[in-house]
Amino acid sequence: MLGILVGVVGLGVSFSWRVLVTSRDIFVNEARKNPLTQILSILNPSDIPLTGESEDRVNILLIGIGGEDHPGPNLSDSIMLVSYQPSTHALALVSLPRDLYISTRDLGPLKINAIHAYGEARKEGSGPLALTEEIERLTGLSIPYFVRFDFIAFKKVVDAVGGIDVEVAETFYDYYQHQLFTKGRNHMNGERALYYVRGRFLEGTVGSDFTRAERQQAVLTSLAESSRGKNLFQHIELGLHLLSILSDHVRTNVDVTGLKRVASLFQTKGVPSPIITNVVSDDPAEGLLVASRTEAGGYILIPRAGAAGRIRTFFANVFSGAEAPLKPIALIIENGTKVAGVASKAAEGLPANQFTVREIRNATRQDFTDTILYDFTKGRAPDLVANLKERFKVTIVRTEVPADLDPGDAEAVLIIGQETADGLAASSKR
């Protein structure tokens, strides 16, 4: 969808003014500007960098909603993070399953597809930013841009480029929408493509949230290929037709200057190919998510225990496809009891690739009942911190340095309390 907007704006300055006049609703930031500022935005050179270019990564959140005349019109039917790497001209898509259940900052535990709807209920137009902020908290990324589109925009854009060719991996029947899709290459118009990406009530594994996300990615990739073939940068009539389609059904905070920059990059280098695709999965062995149920019995997906850091690493490495190893936590272990040797015993079983034990010593006093963890990692390695808490039955976690503690350059200090000490002492006797 962003590629279509880029193609439209890339048709020239005079045409861009017609774009701006007839589609101010699309560009939510342009609608707030006065006419002179809008004219200047069109005349701005196309080499003004996008937010994130200096870090070699531009992030945009794609949000697909049902729109008017659909049940739950503001629920996010599709959520994808689009990332562009200028140095390699690579483009990556990562889908987030709509059933992902997270703890939000203001709304409590919630399915991720409902966040946009709650934002819109609070104030019209605030849904995209509400969802973007939560995705930033989940992924650890800065996501400065969003593009939101509804089902009507999707269908008509597919029709406008003459349909798309999609490789269907496996024959399946959607018994809710009453649609049959056969294995192999299928040419789809807008309505058919919408059936394909929305299908959920299917037999077998093709009905999962993850295969549905894969279908959505395949369709967007095919749409990008079709757009490349139509050469939107040169076909003014097609651009105007697309504009009339999008004006009531697309919203974005990417301004005209930003779109001109993307248009310039893509005109010079072409639309990136191949496009990297990925899905946050629930693979039983290595997946980041696991299936669960709400108290009311509803199906949800939740982050696997201790996977918060892995989720962030996954998103940080979408272009390499690998999870970069975390730097071990520099750790001091103190014995806060009169049980001799428990600090050394605690250090023995710690994985060397996760923890570097800088020092083993006695605490300033030996009457600790609870095991205390002083965490100075600032959120860098939540999985490793969770490992410590579970392994040593930590009951108290603090992030401020007390006056009687010298952590040096350590990122964490573990003070062994009596209960943990008894457990360690008992295990050494077995």
**Separation between Cα atoms, residue 180 and residue 151, nearest integer Å:** 20
Query: 270: part of which helix (H) or strand (E)?
Result: none
**C-alpha torsion 418→420→426→429, nearest 10:** -110
Task: Tell me what pLDDT residue 57 has.
Answer: 94
**Percent helix, percent strand, percent coil in the chain, to nearest 5:** 40, 25, 40
**Separation between Cα atoms, residue 37 and residue 17, nearest integer Å:** 12
Q: Nearest 5°: CA angle at 4, between 258 and 243? A: 95
Burial of 199 (0-12, 13-18, 19+ CB in 10 A): buried
Query: 62: part of which helix (H) or strand (E)?
Result: strand 58-65
Task: Tell me what pLDDT residue 81 has.
Answer: 94
Q: How many helices (H) and strands (E) does the chain have?
A: 14, 19
**What's the CATH number for 2-316?**
3.40.630.190
Exposure string over 62-74, b if 16+ CB within 10 A, otherwise e: bbbbbbeeeeeeb
Residue 276 structure tokens: 């990297």
Task: Tell me what pLDDT residue 266 has.
Answer: 74
Residue 265 structure tokens: 């990059």
Task: Tell me what pLDDT residue 80 has.
Answer: 93
CA 214 to chain centre: 15
Q: What is the pLDDT along the chain (430 residues), one digit of tens a residue?
A: 555 444 444 444 444 555 555 555 777 765 555 555 555 555 555 678 899 999 899 999 999 999 887 888 999 989 999 999 988 888 888 999 889 999 998 889 999 999 999 999 999 999 999 999 999 999 989 999 999 999 998 998 898 888 999 989 888 888 888 899 999 999 999 999 999 998 877 765 677 777 888 888 889 888 877 765 555 444 545 555 666 667 788 898 988 778 778 877 777 676 676 677 777 765 555 578 888 998 888 889 888 877 788 888 889 888 876 554 567 899 999 999 999 999 999 998 788 778 899 999 999 999 999 999 999 987 777 778 888 998 899 989 999 999 889 999 899 999 999 999 998 888 766 5
For the beta sheet containing 372-375, the strands, ordered from the edge strand earlier in sequence to the opposite edge, are 355-362, 329-335, 412-416, 372-375, 396-398
| Nearby residues of 419 by Cβ (< 8 Å), 6 or more positions away | 369, 370, 371, 393
How many Cβ atoms are within 10 Å of 428's Cβ, its own excluded? 12
**Separation between Cα atoms, residue 85 and residue 148, nearest integer Å:** 22
Residue 406 structure tokens: 């010298």
Task: Please check whether residue 412 is in contact with residue 329, taking contact to mean a CB–CB distance below 8 angstroms.
Answer: yes
Task: Tell me what pLDDT residue 67 has.
Answer: 87
Main-chain phi, psi angles of 253, to 5 degrees: -95, 5
Look at the domain 329-428 and name its fold: Alpha-Beta Plaits (3.30.70)
Q: Nearest 5°: CA angle at 235, between 232 and 239? A: 70
* Rounded alpha-carbon distances, angstroms, from residue 383 to 5, 55, 310, 311, 349: 40, 26, 7, 10, 17
How many Cβ atoms are within 10 Å of 185's Cβ, its own excluded? 9
Sequence spans of domains, the chain: 2-316, 329-428
Residue type, 84: Y
**Separation between Cα atoms, residue 7 and residue 231, nearest integer Å:** 8
Look up the pTM and report it: 0.68
